Amino acid sequence: MNQEQVTVLAVGGTGESRPADHRTRVTGLLSCVVGALDDRFVGRWVGYPASYGPVAFGGLSYRHSTELGVRRLRRAIENTTGPLALIGYSQGATVVREVLGLVHDGIVDGSRIVAAGL
């Protein structure tokens, strides 16, 4: 039986990503979660500003950072084929929760999302 891999889209917490983060390898706390999965899963990092506020020059507010995270996660969902799982840590959990709300409201197609973890 040949089963299609589930892509795990991982959204990290505050400070674990940055605005121009184009990595695909899962890093930070969620790397431990993805690293424990078997070969039915493949992890992919979703980068976004992951900022809590303008404490440093040019830092985004939590709200703006999270909004960008939602946009990037939505884009990742749209650009990924096959079944999906979403995981988020800390601020990333807020991003995932917001996207799941958009799925519930029928704004985002969630038909391929088989699991979510916050």
The mean pLDDT of 11-30, rounded to a whole number, is 92
pLDDT of residue 19: 84
pLDDT of residue 2: 57
pLDDT single digits (tens) 31-90: 999 999 999 999 999 999 998 877 656 678 889 999 999 999 999 999 999 999 999 999
Rg (CA), the chain: 14
| Phi, psi for 83 (deg, rounded to 5) | -70, 150
What string of DSSP letters covers 52-104?
A: -STTSTTPPPHHHHHHHHHHHHHHHHHT--S-EEEEE-THHHHHHHHHHHHHH
pLDDT of residue 1: 44
User: Whole-model pTM above 0.75?
Assistant: yes
The mean pLDDT of 110-117, rounded to a whole number, is 97
CA 106 to chain centre: 19
Q: Model confidence at 106, in pLDDT bands (50, 70, 90)?
A: very high
Cβ atoms of residues 46 and 84 within 8 Å: no
CB neighbours of 41 closer than 8 A, spacing ≥ 6? 5, 6, 7, 8, 34, 85
Length of the chain measured in residues: 118
